[in-house]
Structure 1
Amino acid sequence: MAERAHDRLSRLLGLVPYLTRRPGTDLADVAAHFDVDAEQIVDDLELLFVTGRPGHMPDDLIEAEWEGGRVYVGNADEVSVPVRLSPHEVGGLLLALDYLESAHEADPTTIRSVRQKLQGASGEGSGGMLDISPPRLPGELADTVRAALREGTTLDIRYYVPARDELTERTIRPLRLRLGRVWYLDAHCLTSGGDRSFAVDRIRAAAPARDAKTTPSTAEAPDAPASHSAANAAAGPTSASPSGVSVALRPESAWLADEIDVPAVGGTRRDDEHGAGTVSLDLPHVGRDWAVRLLSAHGAGVLAADPPEVVRRAADVTHEALSLYARRTPED
């Protein structure tokens, strides 16, 4: 199979600094170091003959000699140092180290040593030491979660759900810590009766569970349904009571069904029940505030909805918002 241009370029960029630091290296040793045969190294050296600074005058090109089986290069100051990692590459490696350290997956002393070397690896062109701030786990919370993971015990947590503007109380059995855009705690939620992913920065408190036998309750619905920002825009009055909602969506609003984690709230979905392209959703474990926001933000795309009290509250919220425009004095 023909060699890829990227692979050959990488070898050429490494070949010059290697030979600059080891003039007179045996051709066979050079080939062994780069894991190719001697003919390939000769081919690379012949390419270096026509490589150099713009102008292509004799003194602009790299010099290479390999007579007698010994290899020498010259006039190659611009490429005589090893290729450095880019700031982006260093950043990715530092982020991986941070994950290993937080997850206790490697020796801390080794991690500190590697981090120090990487922080200086981006070179002078990047402005010196690389500044990267990966997300960190709060120390006390991390210790509590790791203890539960290690011992297989449950935790009582207070978890903020922005979709309902509500601070919920749950009992969970931690499964693992996971780093994405932020830290997540994957766990089995005994309160809602299923596996959930909790954003760590929304956990307001965590402690060993007082009672690990908590049964599922509809009062603690997960926050997964409100994944679309428009559904959060028109907030109703704060209420922690569960309500549930059933909606039939018009075809032009059927996309909303894909933005809602229906199984996470014990719900069901039925397609084309009210005509081609329509979607019907029963969401029994969503909070009242979330249901009101969904209907007030997307009412034009809803064919039918229940229960009536949620529909009435969504209409009131919409009328209150419209009245602000009616009272607004036009600018002169």
Structure 2
Amino acid sequence: MTSTPGERERRTSERVIALLMLLIHTRHGYTTAQIRRHVEGYAELGDEAFEKAFQRDRALLEDIGVPLSLEQPEDADARHVVDASALLLPEIDFSGAERRALLHAREVWSETRLQTEVMRAVGLLVDPGSAGEADDGLGLPRVVQRLTPNLEVFLDAAVEQQVLAFGYRTAAGAVSPQDRPRRVRIWSALEIGGAWYAAGWDLDRQGERLFRVSRVIGRPEELPGTGSDAPARPADWNPVEIRDRLLGQGEGLRDRVRLWVAPGRGHSVRLRGQAVTPTAQDGAAPGEGWELWETDRPAHDGLVQLCGGLMGVVQPSAADPDVVAEVLAAWRRVAEVHDGAPPPHPELAKPRQSRYRQGQRERVSRLLDIVGLANRAGGITKVELADRLELSPKALDADLRDLQYCGLPERLFPGWLFDVDAESDVVEVRQAVDLPAPIRLSLPEAHRLSAALDTVAQMPHADDEVAPAAVTAAARIRQVLADVGHTGATTSVRPSTGGTDDPGDAAAVVPSAADGGGAGGHEPPATPVTSFWDVHADQDTVRVLMDAVARHRVVRLRYHALHSDRTTEREVEPVQLVQSGVVLYLQGHCRTAGAMRTFRVERISAVEPTGEIAKARRRPKKTMLTPVDTTLEAVLAWHHRIRDLADDYAPRLEAQDADGRRLTRLGLLSEDAAIALAGMHAGDVEVLEPAELRQAVRDRALAALRRLETAVRL
């Protein structure tokens, strides 16, 4: 009779747990032959099948943090041994603020697997109910979940600084030949500007390189035994320098720009700048009533995005010829890309939904966590257990039923399976004395948790104790890693500085440091995983909104809409903050509109609590940031280097062309919104359909070009 996948998964879990319990039940370990005889599921396998299954099970145990070793006594067969002294998770006496910081760390990752792993780690370290009454986490941003293919491969490789081989398409579209993949010793995985990058030493180019993970082609392959001559991550390697270089935020790279703004328009410029008196160097005003404003030049290519999003409404003064030339070149690209009929494109189809499915590793970890938490506490309620492990009551009941078939191998210890009462409200696991506490965090999990705490330290908080407590909590976890001999740190000499295989590339919309990047004033250390909270928002505004969401306080705000280019006063009952990449949103009931509305926090110029406490409203089950009432449907082509941005517009259909561009059919609010999108990305976003919208983009770009060229000549 053929077994179902679920039954096979359960049998594998039972076998792996039996293997672990067998090894920790003795100090001396067991030989491979003894293990094969004693553990149910091995004896009936042939030699080759057993070897494959046993190596998979052994690797799984190591992957979840079990310290396995192979000891070779003299004149005897090798024995598999578990180091019991390093098996269990130590109890760390976190302060109340550190516990709150740890609970915050559960919310910072947008990547589903990362969030799952950090939630598990925090659940083992901290009782969620013990963090203190002052902070229940309601004000924290709710992160939109994403799934970056291959990310876990680079995260794992960074911990051990492994060499990976992978195909790659650069920002310019150049593809590595299949017979010559990139070979890189991975130093670190970094989240910068809302996107993930892998940094390391390129074995073929003999230099430091940076790769955007979403541009990797196919599945990376580990190359064990290679890269012995490649330097390890240098002790003085600084991820902050990489971030500044990538986002154009290094010292001396920022300046001021002077922009002409049409009367009553361009509120995003007015929001960030100051009105100034024109001089002869500024040239002629583009039209009657246009005003001159001065503002910080946005980081990286933000100036092109700012002027492109307001093409025809904002243009640079003649005072800086380089700025004028940059904007003119960008608008010419928009006009050229939309010249004539578009080439034929592949047929579009419904997007494939990328879903994260927990595997055998997560299942075995969870079952062992239940045993360890119950034993450490002398019994634990189902409510607390479900809260710690982020499980539904139904999922927890299923795990408890499965645990009844796990424990010491029945062949050697008949009747020694775990004794679990799945119907009781209090979970106790008897006959599991060899597992008196949860298994220690695996090395990757510990590094990911400490990186999440580093991110918490950069965020603004209504509670001033949280950010510094995140730093100390991360230091405690790194000390535990050091105590067991695993820090991921290196002391090699720093090699000559290399570059990036995507020069000038970054997330398409990135904030400046003044906009709130690194709000907590904490710079992450050089570790295998580094994340920057590069959210484009004023940190004082974020603090007020966090407090308002947590306490249900009604706020009065001034909002600057981008596409309608209007400024309005709103009174809002905040429901939640939502983070998508580098953009932060406030969702709440707008009393002015009489309905739920979504506001980009960076466009809120003033916010203050009214003193009124509103009745708590239910948070939406799904975080919808794209407009529901769209009036225009269009087909857009996204250049390879910014193709990830299309996800923010919830494509209805999509395909990929021969140049690696992503083609999408999606809904937009208006013609102005489509023109602004094409203008912001200076030719990297092309309107393919409808034809009249494509022509409207070209007409707007040509009109803006003529106006700027005329003003500069005059």
> Which structure exhibits the higher relative contact order, with contacts defined as CA atoms closer than 8 Å and separated by 6 or more residues?
2
TM-score, normalised relative to structure 2: 0.23
More helix by share: 1
User: Is the radius of gyration larger for structure 1 or structure 2?
Assistant: 1
